Amino acid sequence: MRLFLALIRITSMVGATALSLEGLVAVDAEVVRLRRGDLNALSELITRYQNRLYRYLLRIVRQPAEAEDLFQQTWLRVVEKIRSFDANRNFDAWLFTLARNLAIDHLRRIRPESLGEPLANNWHSETVADRIPCKDHTPLDHVLAGERRTEISEAMAGLPMMYREVLTLRFEDEMKIEEIAQVTALPVSTVKSRLRRSLEQLRYALEARYPGGTWQ
Amino acid sequence: MSEHDKIRELLALAAADALTRAEEKQVAEHVRSCIACSNELGAWRPIASELRRLPTPQPSSWLVQATLARAEAKLTEQAEHDWNRRVMIVFVAFAWLFTIADWPVFHFVSGHFGSLLEPQFSYTWISFAAFTALGWLAGGVAAVMLAMRQRGEKRLA
């Protein structure tokens, strides 16, 4: 039985790796075609990245109209800069870096206060868990999953931009820490500490909204 | 900072699968013997799990179509720009060649090839070529300055 389970696991891992490699090769081929000015390659790239890119921009700027405008600008920038793209680099990271730079420029013009570092709160000196009573069991089963996601989504929207960004890149885009470091142009250690703080702030925000752990 | 405090700081990252192998091992070993940290890790996991399952907002099909149309227009514009640049390079190269070669060719065709060696002719030809080169250089500098200014204005816009 154990051998059978191990075999299934290995097969699924090999399958996932093959799929991911296939995706990477396809992206590379599309990028090469786009560099030659192939319109179909552009269409394929937009289709491939539309959801991830739009979600990332929406998490950063929070306003759908602004995210839509930035989405268009990002692809125009891709067309403009594709020839200077180094084929040895990761296209995902390059694309998200372009989007990020545009979004930050936009926020700097429209809402510069939203880019500011959050003030050091007292709760930073202690871990959030120190103030949340430990429970032997989580009451997750008592609340509907959809409601929980709405709660998390709302709490996340209330976080500073740099925390929202790192959360969406890690959990929604499933980027590795090294990839996030590439996109944000930060050292890996900074990305890790930013990710930890963003999770702590999220938990703190959830706890503040729903005292006593009722959000769970 | 005690070992317990160090591990406690890693628990959120453990739930986010953002630890190195060594850190993962360290956390796993500690959590096995520390109930408080085990509970704490248990509290982080639902948050990480819910974050992974947040609904993905979809861009409208209108947005995708509009983006594609604008990007295609940009690609076409770039292709035209490249073509114009190539044509311009060919014209400039031809103009240079023509400027430098026309007098000797003219003399050669008109049967006065020997006059090429005359000091008076060489002096006239070199002066003419130098004046032409100066004219082109001034034009080139003006074009570069204009392009830089246009680029600066584009950036500001």
Residue A195 is part of a domain; what is its CATH number?
Answer: 1.10.10.10
Pick from B75, B76, B82, B155 the residue to mutate for testing the A interface (most A CBs within 10 Å).
B75
The shares of helix, strand and coil residues in chain A, as percent rounded to the nearest 5, are: 80, 0, 20
Contacts of A172 in chain B (CB under 8 A): 51-52, 54, 56
Q: What is the largest CA-CA distance in chain B?
A: 106
Tell me, yes or no, whether A118 lies in a domain.
no
Q: Are residues A94 and A139 in the same domain?
A: no
Confidence (pLDDT) at A136: 45
Q: Using alpha carbons, list the distances in angstroms from residue B80 to A73, A112, A203, B74, B85.
A: 21, 38, 53, 10, 9
Confidence (pLDDT) at B68: 92
Select the more confidently predicted residue: A67 or B110: A67
Confidence (pLDDT) at A191: 95
Confidence (pLDDT) at A207: 85
Question: Residue A27 is part of a domain; what is its CATH number?
Answer: 1.10.1740.10
The average confidence (pLDDT) of chain B is 83
Confidence (pLDDT) at A123: 36
Q: Are residues A65 and A107 in the same domain?
A: yes
B6: left (phi over 0), alpha (psi -120 to 50) or beta: alpha
Confidence (pLDDT) at A134: 42
Per-residue pLDDT of chain A in tens (216 residues, 90 and over written 9): 565 656 666 665 555 555 555 555 677 888 888 888 888 898 999 999 999 999 999 999 989 999 999 999 999 999 999 988 887 888 999 999 999 999 999 998 887 766 654 544 433 333 444 434 444 445 455 445 677 778 888 888 889 999 999 999 999 999 999 999 999 999 999 999 999 999 999 998 888 877 665 555
Confidence (pLDDT) at B127: 78
Q: Are residues A105 and A22 in the same domain?
A: yes
- Chain B: residue nearest A134 by CA? B39
Q: What angle do CA A170, A174, A179 make, to 5 degrees?
A: 70
Does A203 contact B74 at a Cβ distance shorter than 8 Å?
no
Tell me, yes or no, whether A183 lies in a domain.
yes
User: How far is it, in rounded angstroms, from Cα A177 to Cα B14?
Assistant: 13
Complex ipTM, two decimals?
A: 0.70
In the structure, what pLDDT confidence band is assigned to residue B117 with cuts at 50, 70 and 90?
Answer: low
Contacts of B48 in chain A (CB under 8 A): 171, 199
- Say yes or no to pLDDT of B136 above 90: no
Q: Are residues A24 and A97 in the same domain?
A: yes
Among candidate residues A84, A113, A142, the one where a domain is terminated: A113
The number of C-beta contacts closer than 8 angstroms across A and B is 125
Q: Are residues A12 and A107 in the same domain?
A: yes
Partner-chain residue, chosen from A52, A140, A192, that has the shortest CB–CB distance to B18: A192
Tell me, yes or no, whether A78 lies in a domain.
yes
Tell me, yes or no, whether A124 lies in a domain.
no
Confidence (pLDDT) at A86: 85
Confidence (pLDDT) at B118: 67
User: Measured between CB atoms, does A157 come within 8 Å of chain B?
Assistant: no
User: How far is it, in rounded angstroms, from Cα A191 to Cα A194?
Assistant: 5
Pick from B19, B20, B54 the residue to mutate for testing the A interface (most A CBs within 10 Å).
B54
Cβ atoms A199, A132 nearer than 8 A? no
- Say yes or no to pLDDT of B128 above 80: no
Q: Are residues A56 and A153 in the same domain?
A: no
Confidence (pLDDT) at A74: 96
* CB neighbours of residue A207 within 10 Å: 19
Tell me, yes or no, whether A15 lies in a domain.
yes
Domain range for A54: 8-113
Close Cβ partners of B140 (under 8 Å, ≥ 6 residues apart)? none
Among candidate residues A61, A86, A113, the one where a domain is terminated: A113
Confidence (pLDDT) at A142: 47
User: Measured between CB atoms, does A47 come within 8 Å of chain B?
Assistant: yes
Tell me, yes or no, whether A123 lies in a domain.
no
- Concatenate the DSSP letters of all residues of B40-92 into one string: HHHHHHHHHHHHHTPPPPPPPHHHHHHHHHHHHHHHHHHHHHHHHHHHHHHHH
Averaged over B98-127, what is the pLDDT?
69
Q: How many domains does chain A have?
A: 2
Pick from A192, A210, A216 the residue to mutate for testing the B interface (most B CBs within 10 Å).
A192
Confidence (pLDDT) at A3: 59
